[in-house]
C-alpha cells in the first residue's frame, strides 16, 4: 500500500460509525474523494462533506482539501468532480 493510500485509510477510519461514507478512486486505486454524510442521505442531496486527496506530479499526497473550503455537510456527492476545493 502506498503512503497516499495509508493516509486515506486513516481518514476513512476516522469517520464516526453513524455516518455514511462514499469513496471514489482513480484508475491506479488511489483514493480521490471521500464523502461523509448522515445516514440515509442521497448522493444527489446537499448533505455531504467531501474531501479531495490530490496527488502531486511525483505521485505523493498533497494537501487534503475540502469542497467549498470547509468540512460542513452542504455539498452534493454526485457533483464532487466539479466542486471547488481548498
Per-residue pLDDT of the chain (86 residues; tens, 9 = 90+): 345 566 666 777 777 788 899 999 888 888 899 999 999 999 999 999 999 998 888 877 878 899 999 999 999 999 999 999 99
CA angle 33, 38, 1 (to 5 degrees): 35
The pLDDT value given to residue 1: 39
Find out whether 38 and 47 touch, Cβ atoms under 8 Å: yes
Domain ranges of the chain: 3-82
pTM for the whole structure: 0.83
Amino acid at each position: 500500500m502506498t503512503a497516499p493510500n495509508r493516509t486515506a485509510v486513516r481518514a476513512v477510519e476516522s469517520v464516526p460509525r453513524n455516518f455514511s461514507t462514499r469513496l471514489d478512486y482513480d484508475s491506479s486505486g488511489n483514493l480521490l474523494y471521500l464523502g461523509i454524510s448522515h445516514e440515509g442521505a442521497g448522493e444527489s442531496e446537499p448533505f455531504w462533506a467531501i474531501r479531495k486527496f490530490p496527488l502531486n506530479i511525483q505521485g505523493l499526497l498533497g494537501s487534503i482539501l475540502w469542497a467549498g473550503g470547509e468540512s460542513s455537510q452542504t455539498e452534493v456527492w454526485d457533483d464532487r468532480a466539479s466542486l471547488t476545493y481548498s
